[in-house]
Amino acid sequence: MINNRSKSEELDWNTDQFVQAIDQTVAHLVQYVDQAATVPVANLRPMEENQLELEAQNLMESGALAESGFSVFLNTYLRYSTQLHHPNYMAHQVASPAIPSALAELIHGSINNPGAIYEMGSTAASLEHVVLNWMLKKLNWKPEPLKATTESHGAGALMNGGSLANLVSLLAARSHIAPEAWEQGNPAGLKVLVPANSHYSVERSLSIMGLGSQSLVPVEVDENERMIPSALHEVIKQTQAAGHRVMAVVANACATGSGLFDPLKEIAQVCQKEQVWLHVDACHGASFLISSKLKHLLEGAEQADSFVWDAHKMMRVSGLCTAVLVKNAAHLQNAFKQQASYLFYGSPSMGKDYLHRTVECTKTALGTKLFLTLAWKGEQAVAQYIENRVAMTSKAYDMIRSRENFICPYVPQSNILCFRYKNDDDLQVEIRESLLKTGVFHLTSTSFNGKRYLRITIMTTATTEQTIESLIKIIEERW
Ligand SMILES: Cc1ncc(COP(=O)(O)O)c(C=O)c1O
């Protein structure tokens, strides 16, 4: 048959090609997930080798992927990916994705309806509103009604990751204490008080905002690197006595390295007494709010002014999907000011436009991923997953610390656990690097209280006591 299509039409939607490509993709992904335990957990090699085997340059130049070779390409792509479905994957706090989030990514990739302005993605924005209100209610904050009201209530927005969410929360805090800063720049002497182990994105945000990393003031922590509320009180007083103003206190729920929660209730009491903005960085631990067994760890968070929640950590949602939540909607509304005559000219919208509240203009249908995951089997299924992984981590703690030469420095509160084998910093790094290089286990390493530790984050349900036992054995045998 003569092909009359011009080159430019060849990317047009071809249903047959779509179905064929989807069938191939699904077949590969089914095998990928089903056989996860039989392949290396990570298959790392130098970038140029990946590029060569993927035929990246050739394929880009020839444009031949659709005609032939997609299956071969995908096979290579998956073979050298990091296997998050593998039982021995215990590294970064990245969700073990569930089916609904894969579906949401496919749907968005096909219809490309950004949820940032209502007219571009009304169903995406509608679901964003629903999941944000669900999150607000978990904090006992008033959900945001669909219609404008003079009554006070909370608000939120979904965005691309916790780092961005910390920036947005700090912008909200700044607009509260120094509303003139948006036009005039930062006034002198704004300070942000944090425990030393706060996530690096907090310090980055302050530099991005032009406050400088020196606006970060460390607060003394206890032997488990948790903020000491009485020390916080003292630092607030000292900061004020020096003529500075406390823009925000940032508490961890939980800390990235250790997985331990700052004492939020006591911290919130100090912040309330001193009328200081409290931001809770709950990127990892926020999801514990949905578990009746674990939500006590976040007691006091409801007293905060702003709160961030990564659904792409413990909610089985693929990256990225983060919420910034505020108790008082006006605070998020004031975080940004913008003019864009092509978007805003005062005409009424039939729904909510979220881009007033985010750094991004266009963003994907983030709420859809979380919505589908919750609606698929119900909130309780996600809660059980979280409880189950935390319980598994607790078992891992008992198993590891009972062995000679292994030390666990604290009782874990989440699914993150640090441990040390023999008393040598370099050895921890050597163990991690060697296990990763050989594709046997994927762990991380972190420093805690000045010493280097191995660190596991138990994310996938495939990780069992047997997995932990074989990890211990390998370490004992090889080192
Ligand atoms: C406490 C905390 N805050 C912020 C972040 C950054 O989140 P993201 O990776 O979504 O940017 C992390 C990531 O691990 C975290 O643990």
Q: Is 357 helix (H, G, I), strand (E, B) or coil?
A: helix
* Whole-angstrom distance, CA of residue 472 vs CA of residue 464: 13
* Whole-angstrom distance, CA of residue 256 vs CA of residue 284: 8
**Which of 190, 162, 174, 193 is closest to 332 using CA atoms?**
174
Amino acid at 39: V
Report the CATH number that the domain containing residue 267 is assigned in CATH: 3.40.640.10
Amino acid at 74: L
Kindly give the number of the ligand 1 atom that is closest to the alpha carbon of 198: 1
pLDDT digits (tens, 9 = 90+) for 203-262: 999 999 999 999 999 999 999 999 999 999 999 999 999 999 999 999 999 999 999 999
Report the CATH number that the domain containing residue 462 is assigned in CATH: 3.90.1150.10
Same domain, 361 and 429: no
> How many CB atoms neighbour CB 40 within 10 A?
18
Instruction: Evaluate whether residue 9 is within a structural domain.
Output: no
Q: Using 50, 70 and 90 to split pLDDT, how confident is the model at 415?
A: very high
* Cβ of 186 below 6 Å from ligand 1: no
pLDDT reported for residue 3: 56
The CA distances from residue 123 to 56, 311, 351, in Å, are 36, 19, 10
Distance 201 CA to ligand 1 centre (A): 8
* Cβ of 322 below 6 Å from ligand 1: yes
Kindly give the number of the ligand 1 atom that is closest to the alpha carbon of 165: 11
Instruction: Evaluate whether residue 215 is within a structural domain.
Output: yes
Same domain, 424 and 289: no
Instruction: Evaluate whether residue 63 is within a structural domain.
Output: yes
Same domain, 366 and 404: no
The CA distances from residue 120 to 12, 145, 264, 366, in Å, are 21, 21, 39, 14
pLDDT reported for residue 447: 96
pLDDT digits (tens, 9 = 90+) for 3-43: 566 777 788 899 999 999 999 999 999 999 999 999 999 99
Same domain, 156 and 286: yes
Beta strands at 416-421 and 444-448: parallel, antiparallel or unpaired: unpaired
Mutate to test the pocket of ligand 1, among 201, 205, 287 (most ligand atoms within 8 A of CB): 201
Average pLDDT over residues 279-300: 98
Mutate to test the pocket of ligand 1, among 197, 283, 314, 414 (most ligand atoms within 8 A of CB): 283
> Of all protein residues, whose CA lies closest to atom 4 belonging to ligand 1?
162
Which residues have C-beta within 8 Å of that of residue 33, sequence separation ≥ 6?
Answer: 85
* Cβ of 319 below 6 Å from ligand 1: no
* Cβ of 203 below 6 Å from ligand 1: no
Distance 299 CA to ligand 1 centre (A): 20
pLDDT digits (tens, 9 = 90+) for 376-406: 999 999 999 999 999 999 999 999 999 999 9
pLDDT at 51 over 50: yes
Instruction: Evaluate whether residue 303 is within a structural domain.
Output: yes
pLDDT at 340 over 90: no
Instruction: Evaluate whether residue 93 is within a structural domain.
Output: no
Question: pLDDT averaged over the chain?
Answer: 95
Same domain, 200 and 331: yes
455, containing H or E segment: strand 451-457
Distance 254 CA to ligand 1 centre (A): 10
Distance 162 CA to ligand 1 centre (A): 5
Task: State the total domains in the chain.
Answer: 3
Residue 241 sits in which domain range? Answer: 107-377
Same domain, 318 and 450: no
pLDDT at 1 over 50: no
* Cβ of 162 below 6 Å from ligand 1: yes
* Domain end residue (candidates: 327, 358, 377): 377
pLDDT digits (tens, 9 = 90+) for 66-114: 887 899 999 999 999 999 999 999 999 999 999 999 999 999 999 999 8
* Domain end residue (candidates: 377, 404, 437): 377
Same domain, 254 and 387: no
